[in-house]
Amino acid sequence: MPNYYQPEIECASHEQIRAWQDERLVKTVRHVYQNVPYYRNLMDKRGVTPDDIHSVDDLCKLPFLTKDDLRDAYPYGLLATPLQDCVRIQSTSGTTGRRVVAFYTQHDIDLWDDCCARAIMAAGGTKDDVVHVCYGYGLFTGGPGLNGGSHKVGSLTLPMSSGNTERQIQFMCDLGSTILCCTPSYAAYLGESIHERGLQDKIKLKAGIFGAEAWSEEMRQDIQQKLGIKAYDIYGLTEISGPGVSFECSEQRGMHVNEDHFIAEIIDPNTGEVLPDGEKGELVFTSITKEAFPLIRYRTRDICVLSREKCSCGRTHVRMSKPMGRSDDMLIVKGVNVFPSQIETVLLNKGYPANYQIVVSREHNSDKLEVLVEMTPEMFSDELSKVSAREDELVGALKAMLGIYAQVKLVAPKSIARSEGKAVRIIDKRKLY
Ligand code: DLL
């Protein structure tokens, strides 16, 4: 059984990583220029040809790609190989606008599975583990990605997909699942459901690999404590392959980007200027080993920071911080930038469960921010005056974090709908006016 912890790659010197990236970037730019008229036009408009690209230093000469480009080019406009060479399509959820579809050759699937296998091994996975995958299967990349990674590690894979919490818990107990893969919001819900049934002692989980949505450190503590596991973050996006673009090691201090496959940059989202490591900005990826759907300088809209500080796990690949949220998830309320993750941090710090909803509306020509927060069953049995004191306390804490007033409404336990996939936290009614 091959070992998908690959120290010769994951712990390579910076010079070695750079040499791989230089060579693979040059090759990818040529491949895309020759086979993707859409991107060739963008390059021609900029007056840049593949001959101008010799190394990663030349990356900044190349035009960006955005989600709008992917929508414009839907479905085949960015495909770089004949369709007959492709074996798979995956797609984004497409809640706004047209869906985005991504294509994979068998080689592309293999490298994606390798990336997910590295993530599972970094979370302590081996062929002795039972990997319980309750990310959705189908067009969403979560299920297929972790499934492929788990096969490569040689673990016993449970392709549960999402939903049916009763069955998830039963299989977890009966089949001794040791590694759980799902969204953090569903992990929190599973933790809550296991406690309600008093089944903590029947659960053999040791680790969880959670991603696909923003989650705070406080939520990590909550999940780790509820499920008695170590919770690892995993990041990725359909356009760049799916989960496994980056993943956490046992240090839990940022996610190592698989730099032999992807080049990461941070840019100023307003000017497009490349920012140095350590500065916060929009994450941009270039895939350098893909055949069917290689994207060059794809703007993710995710806001984070890159760090090349030495990691004690020995991996040398650059680490990205947890994304603070997407720049298009960021709410502007009364002119102030508000990220749902800031609100989550306040709530979890104050002992509330991670079940909340943010409602923004317009009243008398001014923005109104309202946060609905579920109480724990113990809080729910408190007298009314205590509940209103709790609301006031949260208003103060949110004001300190956000700098603006948010109305807080404490609601009954279980009154906010649970999500089996990515949680929907924001209702922005202003878009309806
Ligand atoms: O969510 C792929 C994935 C599946 C990642 C399972 C991890 C685990 P998309 O549906 O295309 O793909 O959504 C990609 O989700 O741009 C981020 O905004 C967000 N996202 C993904 N992982 C994380 C994470 C999958 N760990 C979009 N933390 C990305 C915060 C994340 N946000």
The domains of the chain are located at 1-326, 331-432
**Ligand 1 contacts CB of residue 243 (under 6 A):** yes
Cβ–Cβ under 8 Å, residues 74 and 99: yes
Q: 167-178 in b/e burial notation, b at 16+ Cβ within 10 A?
A: ebbebbbeeebb
Residues 49, 29: Cα–Cα separation, whole Å: 9
Name the 3-class secondary structure at 156: strand
**Ligand 1 contacts CB of residue 18 (under 6 A):** no
pLDDT greater than 60 at residue 95: no
Mean per-residue pLDDT for 375-402?
91
Query: Which of 65, 185, 237 gets mutated to test ligand 1 (max ligand atoms within 8 A of its CB)?
Result: 237
Mean per-residue pLDDT for 337-354?
90
Q: Which amino acid is at 231?
A: A
Higher-confidence residue: 260 or 430? 260
Name the 3-class secondary structure at 206: coil
Pairing of strands 130-133, 156-159: parallel
| 330 CA from centroid of ligand 1 (Å) | 16
**Ligand 1 contacts CB of residue 326 (under 6 A):** yes
- Pick the range with the lowest mean pLDDT from 88-97, 102-111, 132-141, 223-232: 88-97
**Ligand 1 contacts CB of residue 285 (under 6 A):** no
| 234 CA from centroid of ligand 1 (Å) | 8
| 243 CA from centroid of ligand 1 (Å) | 7
Residues 146, 159: Cα–Cα separation, whole Å: 9
Predicted local confidence at residue 335, as pLDDT = 85
Q: How confident is the model at residue 420 (pLDDT cuts 50, 70, 90)?
A: confident
The DSSP element (H or E) to which 245 belongs, if any, is: strand 242-248
The β-bridge partners of 88 are 104
Q: Which amino acid is at 361?
A: S
Mean per-residue pLDDT for 365-372?
93
Predicted local confidence at residue 1, as pLDDT = 45
**Ligand 1 contacts CB of residue 214 (under 6 A):** yes
Q: Any idea what the Cα angle at residue 246 is, between residues 241 and 250, rounded to 5°? A: 145
**Ligand 1 contacts CB of residue 81 (under 6 A):** no
Mean pLDDT of the chain: 94
| 213 CA from centroid of ligand 1 (Å) | 5
Q: Which amino acid is at 384?
A: L
pLDDT greater than 70 at residue 305: yes
pLDDT greater than 70 at residue 192: yes
Mean per-residue pLDDT for 369-388?
90
Q: How confident is the model at residue 422 (pLDDT cuts 50, 70, 90)?
A: confident
Predicted local confidence at residue 432, as pLDDT = 63
Dihedral sign computed on CA atoms, order 1, 208, 211, 253 = negative
Name the 3-class secondary structure at 396: helix
Q: How confident is the model at residue 106 (pLDDT cuts 50, 70, 90)?
A: very high
Residues 190, 131: Cα–Cα separation, whole Å: 16
| 261 CA from centroid of ligand 1 (Å) | 17
Burial of 74 (0-12, 13-18, 19+ CB in 10 A): middle
CA-closest residue to ligand 1 atom 20: 212
Residues 365, 398: Cα–Cα separation, whole Å: 22
Predicted local confidence at residue 433, as pLDDT = 56
Mean per-residue pLDDT for 333-346?
88
**Ligand 1 contacts CB of residue 93 (under 6 A):** yes
Cβ–Cβ under 8 Å, residues 316 and 11: yes
**Ligand 1 contacts CB of residue 323 (under 6 A):** yes
| 301 CA from centroid of ligand 1 (Å) | 11
- Phi, psi of 267, rounded to the nearest 5 degrees: -125, 160
Residues 37, 24: Cα–Cα separation, whole Å: 20
CA-closest residue to ligand 1 atom 6: 142
pLDDT greater than 70 at residue 114: yes
Closest CA to 78 of 24, 14, 35: 35
Taking phi first (over 0 means left), then psi (-120 to 50 degrees means alpha), and beta for anything else, what does residue 385 get?
Answer: alpha
Q: How far is CA 33 from CA 37, 62, 74, 218, in A?
A: 7, 11, 18, 45
Q: How confident is the model at residue 288 (pLDDT cuts 50, 70, 90)?
A: very high
Residues 340, 369: Cα–Cα separation, whole Å: 12
Cβ–Cβ under 8 Å, residues 216 and 344: yes
Predicted local confidence at residue 423, as pLDDT = 87
**Ligand 1 contacts CB of residue 254 (under 6 A):** no
Mean per-residue pLDDT for 327-347?
85
Ligand 1 atom nearest to 245, measured from its CA: 5
Other C-beta atoms lying within 10 Å of the C-beta of residue 40:
15
Predicted local confidence at residue 300, as pLDDT = 96
| 179 CA from centroid of ligand 1 (Å) | 19
Percent of the chain with pLDDT over 70: 97
Closest CA to 390 of 425, 378, 402: 378
- Pick the range with the lowest mean pLDDT from 273-287, 294-308, 331-345: 331-345
**Ligand 1 contacts CB of residue 162 (under 6 A):** no
CA-closest residue to ligand 1 atom 30: 214
**Ligand 1 contacts CB of residue 242 (under 6 A):** yes
Q: What is the CATH code of the structural domain delimited by 1-326?
A: 3.40.50.12780
pLDDT greater than 70 at residue 327: no
Domain 331-432: CATH superfamily is ANL, C-terminal domain (3.30.300.30)
Ligand 1 atom nearest to 323, measured from its CA: 30
| pTM confidence score | 0.90
